[in-house]
Structure 1
Amino acid sequence: MTTALITGSTAGIGAAFARRLAARGAAPAGRPGGGFDLVLVARDEERLREQAEQLHDRHGVEVEVLRADLSREEGIAAVEARLSDPRRPVDLLVNNAGFGHRGTYLDVPMSDELEMLKVHCEAVLRLTTAAVRPMRERGRGGVVNVASVAAFLPRGTYGASKAWVVQFTQGAARDLAASGVRLMALCPGFVRTEFHQRAGMDTGNIPEWMWLDADRLVAAALKDLARGKAVSVPDARYKTLMGLAKLAPRNALGGISSRTGRRFGPR
């Protein structure tokens, strides 16, 4: 049986990955037609255990829970240790944990900005490294680093941190191209999850057509991973928008992202 470790697993995109992988698996890391055993990582242990029980009962997979706060050194270290354990190899890592801030630059306390960088950048770097080293030795495996279309827009620390995720993942994928290990940055648009409510963001001005379904998003992302894509924007609407964004002046894009949900955090 193959194993996937998912951070931020209890809601939104992370929960959708857990459901999908438990139900049917996915290439390249999983065996065809079989579900993944799971390691679920989040801060809320009660929600983790409820999720684990539901997935085990529904799909018959083994589900391990690991409570960890990735904004803290001990949380990152705990997940690193699990990924590095040679007795319990992980075949697919989904770095999904993340959050947004309400407000613009200078409205957000510096401590909160640094916490975001720790979760979005340091944790992604360290967990990817911990997972990829043994994967390379085995000659197989996959990593999905959840970024955002905000990576392509000039908008504060959130967008900057997600741009780092995209660039890091692309570079690592290139370096490991011949190893059998696939890395992909997933760049979703606005997805109906708890993300915006937790950040206190007003989403009333976001058009209905911009919202994506998490389960469909994950299905498309896993297909892109199987195809060997290093960056996935898994929706035709957002592919078109990002194509247009490359042609628009950067100051105009900043204005658009300001009007769309204050801080463009579409996870």
Structure 2
Amino acid sequence: MSRNHAGTAAIITGASSGLGAEFARTLAARGANLVLVARREDRLVALADELAAAHGVAVHPISLDLAAAGAVGTLAAFVRDRGLTIDSLVNNAGFGMHGPLVDADPARIDEQVRLNVGALVSLTREFLPAMTASGRGILVNVASTAAFQPVPTMAVYGATKAFVLSFTEAVAFETRDSGLRVTTLCPGATRTEFFEVVGTEEARVGRYQTPAQAIATAMRALDARRTPASVVSGAGNAATAVFARIMPRSIVVPMTARIMSR
């Protein structure tokens, strides 16, 4: 049964497109008021207008680079100024890079770690007290099937998503008695702008899913009587994740390297 989010407030990062926009549409349809965060203000405003008109919810867009210093504080002040108490958080913002680490731009590496890891942890810590006190909402941290094994040619990205998976599973255990539903969404290749940012589709593994399919997987987990601390979207992706977890790294890493260098 779909859970009702009427009267709650949710923050969604990376909300201007792809998985973030689909999360926004799904939660708005369930009655949640939203704070939409991304860098592209025009897209956020258009989505906010669409959701407010379609579902009668309050939608607050804020253009913000979460990798920048002080961004989380800016978002917290934005929320306070509007008198909002946050019940739910979807940490979706993030990006990947493809190629050998030795050739990667150091500044871009730092930005990737700040966004994929630093901002996610800081946002979770900032709003977790209100979310656990409410006990009505959800915490979703978006990882990837890259979280389950080292990924040569995407070494930093894979490591950041492994962090997200480990971090979220620990937070899910810590908050298990609060009523807050916590999960890590681990999608595989999804038809979003991710590979445009990466710069190549060589990083894609497996068949594409749509954002709607990935978010439906997350929502089924969150609607379940007992929400799992992590969920993989797609049966093939789930099988691959199990394989990566049970096989020795001496086998998994060279295999992953061959797949990534096709």
TM-superposed CA distance for 1:252, in Å, is 3.7
Code of the residue aligned with 1:226 in structure 2: it is D
Look up the SS of the partner of 1:184 in the other structure. strand
The percentage of counterpart residues that share the same residue type is: 37
- Does structure 1 conserve the Cα–Cα contact (< 8 Å) formed by 2:138 and 2:181? yes
What is the alpha-carbon distance in structure 2 between the residues aligned to residue 120 and residue 204 of structure 1?
18
User: For residue 9 of structure 2, what is the aligned residue in structure 1?
Assistant: 3
Partner in structure 2 of residue 180 of structure 1: 179
- Unpaired segments ≥5 residues, structure 2: 1-6
Using structure 1 for the length normalisation, give the TM-score. Answer: 0.86
The one-letter amino acid of 2:166's match is Q
Shift of 1:81: 3.3
Structure 2 counterpart SS, 1:211: coil
Deviations 1:182-204 (A, max 9, x none): 22111111101110012202349
Letter in 1 for 2:16: T
Question: Distance in 1 between the 2:261 and 2:80 partners?
Answer: 39
Matches within 5 A, 1:125-136: 125-136=121-132
1:115 & 1:217 partners in 2: Cα distance? 26
* 1:10 Cα deviation after fit: 0.9
**1:231-264 per-position Cα deviation (integer Å, ceiling 9, x unaligned):** 111322211111222243424433343344569x
Are 1:69 and 1:76, in contact at CA under 8 Å, matched by a contact in 2?
Answer: no
* 1:167–1:15 distance in 2 versus 1, CA, 3 Å: same
Structure 1 runs (4+) greater than 6 angstroms displaced? none
Question: Is the contact between residue 87 and residue 135 of structure 2 (CA under 8 Å) also seen in structure 1?
Answer: no
Cα distance in 1 for residues equivalent to 2:76 and 2:259: 36
Question: Structure 1 residue aligned with 2:25, among 19, 29, 33?
Answer: 19
Q: Distance in 2 between matches of 1:259 and 1:51?
A: 40
3-state SS of paired residue (2:36):
strand
Give me the TM-score of the superposition, normalised by structure 2: 0.88
Count of residue pairs the alignment pairs up: 251
Across the aligned residues of Structure 1 and Structure 2, the Cα RMSD in angstroms comes to 2.1
Deviations along 1:71-105, whole A, 9 cap, x unmatched?
10132222233456793112210000000112122
Following the alignment from structure 1 to structure 2, what is the Cα–Cα distance between the partners of residues 181 and 214? 24
Deviates more, 1:4-13 or 1:68-77: 68-77
Indicate the SS of the match to 1:116: helix
